Amino acid sequence: MSEITIGALSKRSGVKIPTIRYYETIGLMDEPPRTAGGQRRYLDHHLQRLRFIRHGRDLGFSLEDLRALQSLSDNPDQSCEAADAIASQQLVEVERRLKGLRALRSELKRMVQSCAHGTVGECRVIETLSDHSLCNHAHWKPEN
């Protein structure tokens, strides 16, 4: 690949331009060389790195986890034990979220099934939302 602009990098990677700049600012991506006019010019390794980050984010890895995984990938002859540990921890977190989502689904189903489809004054959904003590699920909130 020849040198490309940030716009072309964004299109090829599916990552928005402000996000690319943010990743550069925090050191997750190397800053690219610039033209004499100061325009960024990206190379193939920038696209590869950006795709790595995007895929990792899609799998729920934190930026710090991705930083650690990138560091590991820069030393391909070492054991992958640390990478396995990071992925295993992410799996534990996903399992925790799934458990919470299943409880949430169950509560929502219960709320909808107990609704008599009458008036809002008699609505079980509104009543349950107004009085949390009527809920059967544990207090769970999704992570941002």
pLDDT digits (tens, 9 = 90+) for 16-29: 999 999 999 999 99
SS3 91: helix
In a domain, 124, yes or no: yes
Single residue among 73, 95, 114 that ends a domain in this structure: 73
Where in the sequence is the domain holding 123, given as residue range(s)?
82-134
In a domain, 141, yes or no: no
Distance of alpha carbon 90 from alpha carbon 65, whole angstroms:
9
In a domain, 139, yes or no: no
In a domain, 101, yes or no: yes
Distance of alpha carbon 86 from alpha carbon 64, whole angstroms:
10
Residue 121's pLDDT is 67
**Is there a single domain that holds both residue 47 and residue 21?**
yes
- pTM for the full predicted model: 0.74
SS3 40: strand
pLDDT band of residue 132 (cuts 50, 70, 90) is low
**Is there a single domain that holds both residue 91 and residue 46?**
no
CATH number for 32:
1.10.1660.10
pLDDT band of residue 142 (cuts 50, 70, 90) is low
**Is there a single domain that holds both residue 95 and residue 43?**
no
SS3 56: helix
**Is there a single domain that holds both residue 10 and residue 58?**
yes
SS3 4: strand
Of 95, 128, 93, nearest to 111 by C-alpha is 128
Distance of alpha carbon 109 from alpha carbon 130, whole angstroms:
17
Domain count, the chain: 2
For 122, residues 6+ apart whose C-beta sits below 8 A from its C-beta are 116
**Is there a single domain that holds both residue 59 and residue 98?**
no
Average pLDDT of the residues in 53-59: 95
**Is there a single domain that holds both residue 36 and residue 66?**
yes
Cα of 82 vs its chain's centroid, Å: 21
Q: Which residues pair with 40 in a beta bridge?
A: 34
SS3 41: coil
| Position 96 pLDDT exceeds 80 | yes
**Is there a single domain that holds both residue 62 and residue 15?**
yes
* Alpha carbon separation from 38 to 24, 32, 33, 34, 35 (Å, rounded): 15, 11, 9, 5, 5
**Is there a single domain that holds both residue 57 and residue 108?**
no
The phi-psi region of residue 27 (left if phi > 0; otherwise alpha if psi is between -120 and 50; otherwise beta) is left
